[in-house]
Structure 1
Amino acid sequence: MTFDDDVAAQDLSTEEEAITYEAGKTQLTIINQPEASLEETELKVLLELTGSGENEDRSPVDIVMVLDISGSMKEENRIGKLKIAMQFLIQKLSPIDRLSVVTFSTGSERLFQLRQITNDSQLEIIEKVNGLSAGGWTNMFDGLKTGVQVLKDRRFNRGRLGAIILMSDGDQTDRFGDARQVPVGIFAVHTFGFGSDAKPEVLKEIAEKSNGGTFSNVRDVNDLTKAFSQCLGGLLTVVVKDLNLTVTQFKDESTIKDVSAGNYPKTANDSSVTVSFGELYNSEVRLAMAYILLPKADEEKDPDVIKVAYNYSSGKGKQFKAPPVTANVNRRRTATVKEIPRLILEENRLRALNSVKEARVLADNSELERAKNVVDEAKNTLERVKVDDPTELIKTLIYELQQISDFMTTKDVYEKKGRSYAMSFETSHERQRYAARGDMDKVRSFATPRMNAYLDQAKKFDTDPSTPPPTEKEDLTKDPKPPIIEQPPAEPPFFITIFNQVLKFLDDLLKFITGHVELVGTKDDPPATRRTWIGRSRKADISLQQRGTHAERERRASGRARERNSRLDWRVQWSRMRGSWAGEEA
């Protein structure tokens, strides 16, 4: 079955388009120790890419909701909570977006094709969602396969972002197939484990195999609207797509040992490493830690050690390639090591992530005591960190490690709470992207300003679903304005560069022939204002004693003047020709 009946999204706005900043979508920051010793040493270089654009210039989004309506959704009124969460999501989309809903139980069904969000379609979609009822098995394989097919078969996909939101409250029924084997292609799949019975292993693996997807652990059934709002707050602020970061070493000055960037795809050759980050939300940050080996140096010097470049396409599809920049280090006999807060924070974040991954493996093997000790040791290490931390990263990490430690007290608690929480923690920190888990008011790592706003809106909507949430137009008026990052001047086309080089060569040649005279006026101007001597002809280097008598010198001077004026005419013509060509070129 094919699903090529998607409805094109028409531009319903009548207002003038907002100004866009094609060069201001991403900002690169390089952080490293300024000095290193002359001995062979490892240098850590932190590369930070920040999404910085206008949300009104975001990518239009095609979202396919893949929803579990199996029999277990009757418990705790989960199906009712799902309907409220869906109402919030539907009302937050704008006319440039499209939505389709796929449900799965024993089989799968597409409720409607990708439809543009208008006032009329919102009401129709909400009516269809409110008519859902729970029953049957959990054929997640067929549900995800259908959802992916809806996006693949789109006729209208140019410049549009495709994403899947998959929600399930239990384990998949094995006889239907393994959803982890469904190829999801280039699309992000954001998965949500709903309720205490959800099995996180499958959902986490599906998300991590996709392009930028995350796994959220929604243990409390009353939190689904808030969890959906955080995912939506990201999808509706995508300002960068296809973001790639390339790090290149300098021969004889450095060797790249590794570039740590979570579980994003990496490619490498003999001299460089490229990380593919995919989409970037507005105000979202991507970090890459480059581990550089500096060879032993015989003398003090200030070499460039790595070259960093990145490229992306904007929300509207325009391509941008940033000019490369370099990271420098001062090689000194006695190097001064400075305390750099941003480096310290990232090192501790990565250390905490690795500790949680190690502890989860131990806990999965029923070694709960050892697992708990690993987490507690990591928490104690963080408590000793004293550094400027404006984002309260360390405070949040300590809180989360304590949560994970508490969930490892018994096997039953770990099975119900610990594993899913730890997996959501891992996917969030591997992706460097917000994933809902636990107390969403306390855990805000990687949350963006729009996510924070949507969290408050979701709370109010859960209290009173009859009151619509703010529209996107209203959201835009409250968004913080990002700084404008100016685009470096573009390099001229190759043929213009060659043409200018030829002109310069001819100009230099003419200067040499005419005695190195540079005009500042015309031939009719007084000599003092007409030309400036910037060199001497070969004849001018002959001493006066070698030029004969006074009369002979005057005769020679008169002849040289006539000759010089003749050459001056050529010089004037040449300058005018150059001015004419330059005007045509401009």
Structure 2
Amino acid sequence: MEGGSDQQSNPCAICLSGMGAGGGHAIFTAECSHTFHFQCISANVAHGNLACPLCNTQWRQLPFVQPAQPPASTLPQRRPMHRVQPPVQFQPPQPEVFDDDDETVEPPPPSEEPETTTPGGRGTLVVRTHTEYPAIARGASHESFAALVHVMAPGMITTEEGDDGAQRAPLDLVTVLDVSGSMAFEKLALLKQAMGFVVDNLGPGDRLSVVSFSSTARRVTRLLRMSDAGKGLAKSAVEALVARGGTNIADGLRVAAKVLGERRHRNAVASVILLSDGQDNHTMAATRPLAGAASAAPNYEALVPASFTTTDGEWAAPVHTFGFGSDHDAAAMHVVAEATGGTFSFIENEAVVQDAFAQCIGGLLTVVVQDARVAVECVDPGVRVVSVRSGRYESRVEDDGRAASVRVGELYADEERRFLLFLAVPPVVAEALDGETAATTLIRVSCSYRDAAGCEVTVTSDDAVVTRPEHVAAADLERSVEVARERVRVEATDDIAAARAAAERGAYEAAVEILERRQRAVAESEAALGQGGDGGAAAATSLQALGRELQEMRARVASEEEYARSGRAMMLSGFNMHSRQRANSRQVNWASNGAAWEERSYSTPAMRAMMLRSRVAREEASAEQQQTPPGAGEAAAGSSGP
């Protein structure tokens, strides 16, 4: 079809120049809704390329390719040229099998040694233990003596020749984007800008597939390797998105699962980003109870394909969900994230969606540890593990209490995990005394994992030991700041969940009281006051930030209106962040409000750097838009409408 449509603002997916570039270009709109310069696609068809270069759909309706013409004086009488018109509202059939993904970059060969045991050096994960107190009186016993297991991933390699960090694993990323009618105009423009930033920051070893959904879902691009050509194709596909129809989150996730499940090649890391600004009005509508039936909570698990859920404690690919604006279904986004091991982010300020994506990929692009598992072994014959506080990470205590384990999974560069153990410690029997230096070796902790090169690595900590004097001196009664901070954090996470439960049943005053009491306890804790030597300043900073967060939550659960508008999303996002010990958009929201986002919990240096890069890019884009002549942006805005 000829030029003159509002799609001229989109770039051609073949030559990557604007549809209106140079003037007078005819435009061909394929049955898969992608647009190209007529001369570009005609050349492709003439060479036998009969599939869309973006989504690989086999075309059934092809552009008419006119052969070279002789001089006008020798032309016979011609029939009118046949023009191919794409069907109105036609959705092209998707390939039956999504096995057309680009090849991956060949990874470096793994080490010949299948397993390495090391105390933790450069480029290696580090495991440390802390005991609540350095000493326990010989004759005393404890039924819940606290010990902390602290795991920290290595940092990234900082120079080409350097060996002071770890290599990262390449990423297969599927973005599942809501393009329902409510995403029209500014929302879709912000989403396109954010996706452009994501594409720009993926490396040549990474691959990206774009899935869009409204009333139904479709794969917009196959899994493309992010070479220069792949980035151009991905950007062109995103720019061509239009907003219309309803919201079918389940179908979007189904297509994403199909992309990952049927790929021929596999990068070491796979992940999904899901963004939606509304409520699923297809799958969830079908699962709601009939009128007059007993009320029941919505079955949000129906949104999640079975291939994304846990199998033997492992997730196929975490789905990181983003609730966009105040009208999204926070409960649905939270359940999808929880069921797949992902994070849930509440993007209250729609203008910072790019920053939220940036922080997420800042982590995904620095995965240095996979399938990490912490193993705890009791050393002293009388010591037992009573319980493990591991948040949303699966933990297990053996029946005899002599061992415990935690499944950690993936870790980003410089990312940390802290797990509280409560131990039963017996008194020292007389036969075990060794002069004045009696001690009890409590536990030995190891962590096994797979690094970016595919090598199996096991790291072991120093033994956790407490001295056993006859009488405990005052200096030995000083509590470890690391253990104290983790106690406060775990108790605050419990109270966030309790306050949310109260708000869900309409007890808003009770929810406020729970959060107020916990905020006061956090502020008055020794760790928040900076008392103690081991990490006192860092503990105080993180707990002061936690106190401010609890204060903000209090305001959001004060009434039914506040809770429905933003409180539910904020509580679920906060609970997800603390129970997984991984940064989400709570960090971004604070940054957009001018707060000291560097002090927020769980973010890594790479996450902060990527978010800073996003903020600079947004400021530069805003400055360019202010210099654009009036009316120049209207045509571009037209392509984003329903």
TM range (shorter): 0.7 to 0.9
Structure 1 position 131, deviation (Å): 0.9
Deviates more, 1:410-419 or 1:326-335: 326-335
Structure 2 Cα separation of the partners of residues 290 and 403 of structure 1: 30
What corresponds to 1:73 in structure 2? 183
Deviates more, 1:31-40 or 1:49-58: 49-58
Structure 1 position 466, deviation (Å): 9.2
Work out whether 1:163 is the aligned partner of 2:271. Answer: yes
Structure 1 position 205, deviation (Å): 1.2
Work out whether 1:279 is the aligned partner of 2:410. Answer: yes
> What does residue range 45-194 of structure 1 map to in structure 2 within 5 Å?
45-55=147-157, 57-74=167-184, 77-157=186-266, 160-173=268-281, 174-175=284-285, 178=300, 179-183=302-306, 184=308, 185-194=315-324
What corresponds to 1:563 in structure 2? none
> What does residue range 348-367 of structure 1 map to in structure 2 within 5 Å?
348-367=488-507
**2:104 aligns with one of 2, 9, 13:** 9
What corresponds to 1:389 in structure 2? 537
What corresponds to 1:453 in structure 2? 609
Structure 1 Cα separation of the partners of residues 352 and 491 of structure 2: 30
Aligned AA (2:123): G
Partner of 2:233: helix, strand, or coil? helix
- Compared with structure 1, are the counterparts of its residues 117 and 22 closer, same or farther at alpha carbon in structure 2 (3 Å cutoff)? farther
Deviates more, 1:266-275 or 1:444-453: 266-275
- Compared with structure 1, are the counterparts of its residues 351 and 389 closer, same or farther at alpha carbon in structure 2 (3 Å cutoff)? farther
What corresponds to 2:469 in structure 1? 332
Work out whether 1:415 is the aligned partner of 2:564. Answer: yes
**1:39 aligns with one of 99, 118, 140:** 140
> What does residue range 313-324 of structure 1 map to in structure 2 within 5 Å?
313-323=450-460
Work out whether 1:464 is the aligned partner of 2:590. Answer: no
Asked if the contact 1:253–1:304 (Cα under 8 Å) also holds between the matched residues in 2, the reply is no
What value does the CA root-mean-square deviation take over the aligned residues?
2.2
Structure 2 Cα separation of the partners of residues 370 and 466 of structure 1: 44
What corresponds to 1:533 in structure 2? none
Deviations 1:421-463 (A, max 9, x none): 1111111111110011232354521011111111111112222
**1:209 aligns with one of 336, 339, 343:** 339
Deviations 1:25-82 (A, max 9, x none): 211111112211322213211111101143571000000001111111126x211110
Structure 1 position 252, deviation (Å): 3.1
Aligned AA (1:40): S
- Compared with structure 1, are the counterparts of its residues 373 and 312 closer, same or farther at alpha carbon in structure 2 (3 Å cutoff)? same
Aligned AA (1:236): L
What corresponds to 1:239 in structure 2? 368
- Compared with structure 1, are the counterparts of its residues 390 and 60 closer, same or farther at alpha carbon in structure 2 (3 Å cutoff)? same
Structure 1 Cα separation of the partners of residues 126 and 258 of structure 2: 35
Structure 1 Cα separation of the partners of residues 331 and 98 of structure 2: 30
Structure 1 Cα separation of the partners of residues 501 and 470 of structure 2: 44
Partner of 1:35: helix, strand, or coil? coil
Asked if the contact 2:122–2:154 (Cα under 8 Å) also holds between the matched residues in 1, the reply is no
Structure 1 Cα separation of the partners of residues 417 and 303 of structure 2: 26
Aligned AA (1:266): S
Asked if the contact 1:252–1:295 (Cα under 8 Å) also holds between the matched residues in 2, the reply is no
- Compared with structure 1, are the counterparts of its residues 122 and 181 closer, same or farther at alpha carbon in structure 2 (3 Å cutoff)? closer
Deviations 1:339-383 (A, max 9, x none): 322112111111111111111100111100011011011111122
Structure 2 Cα separation of the partners of residues 201 and 175 of structure 1: 15
- % identity of equivalent residues: 29
**1:226 aligns with one of 341, 350, 355:** 355
Structure 2 Cα separation of the partners of residues 319 and 22 of structure 1: 15
- Compared with structure 1, are the counterparts of its residues 107 and 262 closer, same or farther at alpha carbon in structure 2 (3 Å cutoff)? same
Deviates more, 1:292-301 or 1:38-47: 292-301
Structure 2 Cα separation of the partners of residues 324 and 222 of structure 1: 45
Asked if the contact 1:204–1:424 (Cα under 8 Å) also holds between the matched residues in 2, the reply is yes
Structure 1 position 331, deviation (Å): 2.4
Asked if the contact 2:102–2:223 (Cα under 8 Å) also holds between the matched residues in 1, the reply is yes
Deviates more, 1:365-374 or 1:39-48: 39-48
What corresponds to 1:30 in structure 2? 129
Structure 2 Cα separation of the partners of residues 324 and 381 of structure 1: 32
Asked if the contact 1:253–1:305 (Cα under 8 Å) also holds between the matched residues in 2, the reply is no
Asked if the contact 2:210–2:219 (Cα under 8 Å) also holds between the matched residues in 1, the reply is yes
For structure 2, the 5+ residue unaligned runs are 1-95, 109-119, 158-165, 288-299, 309-314, 531-535, 625-642
Structure 2 Cα separation of the partners of residues 10 and 297 of structure 1: 58
Structure 1 position 137, deviation (Å): 1.1
Structure 2 Cα separation of the partners of residues 130 and 12 of structure 1: 32
Work out whether 1:303 is the aligned partner of 2:440. Answer: yes
- Compared with structure 1, are the counterparts of its residues 382 and 97 closer, same or farther at alpha carbon in structure 2 (3 Å cutoff)? same
Partner of 2:558: helix, strand, or coil? coil
Aligned residues between the structures = 458
Deviations 1:452-498 (A, max 9, x none): 11111111222234999xxxxxxxxxxxxxxxxxxxxxxxxxxxxxx
**2:580 aligns with one of 423, 431, 435:** 431
Partner of 1:332: helix, strand, or coil? coil
Deviations 1:538-557 (A, max 9, x none): xxxxxxxxxxxxxxxxxxxx
Asked if the contact 2:126–2:152 (Cα under 8 Å) also holds between the matched residues in 1, the reply is yes
What corresponds to 1:198 in structure 2? 328
Asked if the contact 2:127–2:446 (Cα under 8 Å) also holds between the matched residues in 1, the reply is no
Partner of 2:260: helix, strand, or coil? helix
Structure 1 Cα separation of the partners of residues 124 and 340 of structure 2: 23
Deviations 1:291-321 (A, max 9, x none): 1011233445312111211100001211112
- Compared with structure 1, are the counterparts of its residues 321 and 456 closer, same or farther at alpha carbon in structure 2 (3 Å cutoff)? same
Structure 1 Cα separation of the partners of residues 303 and 521 of structure 2: 36
Structure 1 position 4, deviation (Å): 1.5
Asked if the contact 1:311–1:320 (Cα under 8 Å) also holds between the matched residues in 2, the reply is yes
Asked if the contact 2:169–2:269 (Cα under 8 Å) also holds between the matched residues in 1, the reply is yes
**CA radius of gyration, larger in:** 1
Partner of 2:243: helix, strand, or coil? coil
Q: How high is the TM-score relative to the length of structure 1? A: 0.75
Structure 2 Cα separation of the partners of residues 465 and 60 of structure 1: 29
Asked if the contact 1:254–1:292 (Cα under 8 Å) also holds between the matched residues in 2, the reply is yes
For structure 1, the 5+ residue unaligned runs are 14-20, 469-586
Structure 1 position 398, deviation (Å): 1.1
Asked if the contact 2:125–2:459 (Cα under 8 Å) also holds between the matched residues in 1, the reply is no
Work out whether 1:312 is the aligned partner of 2:449. Answer: yes
- Compared with structure 1, are the counterparts of its residues 94 and 467 closer, same or farther at alpha carbon in structure 2 (3 Å cutoff)? farther
Partner of 2:102: helix, strand, or coil? coil
Structure 1 position 175, deviation (Å): 3.6
Aligned AA (1:320): V
Structure 2 Cα separation of the partners of residues 257 and 180 of structure 1: 36
